[in-house]
Structure 1
Amino acid sequence: MPDHTPIPIDSHRIADDEIGKPAVFGAILSGQPLEIHRNIFEGDFGRFRSGVWQCTPGLVAMKDWPYHEFCLLLSGRVIITPEGGSPREYKAGDALVLPMGFTGTWEILETVRKYYAVQARQPLLRRMKARVKGWLRPGPAKGQATTGQAGAQPGTAF
């Protein structure tokens, strides 16, 4: 039987004096940003993860971010600039969602520590199976109204 006990995500899972590794969440444009992350929880066969992340100052370009990510900044300041969009500064206490496919820059002004929760795209085979199931389901009887697009199933957008 699965354990359904809540799992606390403590920001102190990263020690204040801990040194990270060179950032890999994008291409480093300036500075020497070092990042640390602690996955605290993983579910849905690795498709959902949450934990604590920290990165030191630097400018990083991100291209086609592979997750929907919820972030709650615990400390630090960052300016996030979407490609073709306006820069916006975020600081401790701010929350944001970084949508899947995000392309732009993170300019980390002061070391950032955040809680995160990421949802990855479903594997291609799983998405295709869901679509085929939708196509194979019998449609409404002749003359009945339909809702939504043919073959569209909840949860298959990823």
Structure 2
Amino acid sequence: MPDFTPVPIESRRIADDEIGKPAVFGAILSGQPQEIHRNLFDGDHGRFKSGVWQCTPGTVAMKDWPYHEFCVLLSGRVIITPEGGVPREYRAGDALVLPMGFTGTWEILETVRKYYAVQARQPLLRRVKERVKGWLRPGAKGGQTGDAQAGAAF
């Protein structure tokens, strides 16, 4: 039977004096960024993960980020620059979505700690099955039903 107990995602799961390992979320361009993450929840057969992450100053180039990621910065400052785009600074209290496929840089100015929730792409076979199920549903048009349900978020 599934467990439906809420899972607290707490920033104190990373101690203030804890030292991380060299950052691996991209190629290090400058500095010696050290990252720590605590994955506190896994769902949907490993497709969805949530937890707390921290990284010390440095610049990291990211290429083709494999997740949709929602972040809430708890502390620190970072300038995120999409490839060919405009740099934007984020600080404690800011929230953002990093779309799947993001390519660009994270210039961490002050140690960043954030809550994160990431969702990976469904395997191809699962996506095809879902699409076919949609087409086979009564009243479906091109894989979509014409009736939206009130309050349905997805």
Change (3 A) 1:17 1:138: closer
Q: Provide Cα deviations, 1:74-104, integer angstroms capped at 9, x if missing partner.
A: 0000000011110000000111111111111
Distance in 2, matches of 1:62 and 1:69, equals 13
Match of 2:131, SS? helix
- Which residue identity does 1:10 align to in structure 2? E
Q: Which runs of 5+ in 2 are unaligned?
A: 146-154
If the length of structure 1 is used for normalisation, what is the TM-score? 0.86
Equivalent position of 1:4 in the other structure: 4
Q: Which runs of 5+ in 1 are unaligned?
A: 141-145, 154-158
Question: Are 1:151 and 2:136 an aligned pair?
Answer: no
Question: Are 1:88 and 2:80 an aligned pair?
Answer: no
CA RMSD of aligned residues (A): 1.9
- Which residue identity does 1:33 align to in structure 2? P
Distance in 2, matches of 1:13 and 1:87, equals 30
Q: State percent identity of aligned pairs.
A: 83
Question: Are 1:32 and 2:32 an aligned pair?
Answer: yes
- Which residue identity does 1:3 align to in structure 2? D
Change (3 A) 1:139 1:80: same
Distance in 2, matches of 1:65 and 1:16, equals 28
Equivalent position of 2:148 in the other structure: none
Larger Rg: 1
Distance in 1, matches of 2:138 and 2:44, equals 30
- Which residue identity does 1:26 align to in structure 2? G
Equivalent position of 1:76 in the other structure: 76
Equivalent position of 1:143 in the other structure: none
Match of 1:118, SS? strand
Distance in 2, matches of 1:76 and 1:138, equals 48
Question: Are 1:54 and 2:41 an aligned pair?
Answer: no
Q: Give 1:134 deviation, angstroms.
A: 3.8
Match of 1:93, SS? coil
